[in-house]
Amino acid sequence: MTSNPIKLGIVGVGKIVRDQHLPAVAKDGNYQLTAAASRHGKVDGIANYPSIEAMLASEPSLEAVSLCMPPQFRYDAARTALEARKHVFLEKPPGATVSEVEHLKALADRNGVSLFASWHSRYAPAVEAARAFLASARLTSAAINWKEDVRRWHPNQEWIWEPGGFGVFDPGINALSIATHILPAMFISSAVLDFPENRAAPVAAHVAFRTSTGLPVTMELDWLQTGPQSWDIVAETDKGRMVLSGGGAKLAVDGRMIHDEPEAEYPMLYKRFAEIIRAGTSDVDLAPLQHVADAFMLGKRNVVEAFFD
């Protein structure tokens, strides 16, 4: 336990907060969870408020907030917190647009507080080992395959299908957060986005990148995967075929497992948030969000059969 734990409030009490944020904070001596704000959910044992404004007005000693509402609503809450000189943890994706988050970065600097874009998949246990392997090898090509079942992971969450909800890029941005950390700089050259005829966000995406040196990287996203779920990045190199699987949990080279440890993404995120608060810095990498924006800008819209009628 630190001598002066950071007084923390959480905004948006939903599934991700209950599954990940609350357990991580409870085990981290850097924090004292003081309050929560949510229209629908509550956290037992602390003060609960209907809005971030009410929480900040009633809890002036709060030092930091974690914002866990859908990205379409995150900018206003983040601006409110930063202008109140609170440190801010942004769930992924950090905002609905790149320009929103750029402005939040400037606000954090202006108010002398820390802003954290929390790309949780970067903290998966085998990601750093994959990065080190690729740094020691010559890459020839790479493929990202991120395929899961939205009905399993996001039941009854209609906001993900609305403009700004990202659709299949909600999980896909996790893949991009890893890829932009371990692969060379890359740029989208083409994309096809599959939009269900009754939805405003894509359910699948087929994206072609090239690296700064012209190497090909493909990305296949699918949100209607049945059976086993696929969260893999495959890289062909002069030192063998690298497979980073399980969303960054396992690393194999030419079929030989070289890294496999239990997942601890959210505890690592909160550790990092405390580090930047105490160092007086921010950590806001916009590369994954920029790639999503580029995919929507360059992508060809392909209308597919409706579902969830």
Q: Does residue 241 sit in helix, strand or coil?
A: strand
* Sign of the torsion formed by the C-alpha atoms of 96, 70, 22 and 19: negative
Strands of the chain, DSSP E: 6-11, 31-37, 47-49, 64-67, 87-90, 115-117, 139-147, 186-196, 204-211, 216-222, 230-237, 240-245, 250-253, 256-260, 300-304
Per the document, the length of the chain is 309
Identify whether 300 is a catalytic site residue.
no
What is the C-alpha separation between 185 and 187, in angstroms, rounded? 7
Strands of the sheet with 47-49, listed across from one edge? 47-49, 31-37, 6-11, 64-67, 87-90, 115-117
Which of 86, 92, 147, 250 does the annotation list as catalytic? Answer: 92
Active site positions, annotated: 92
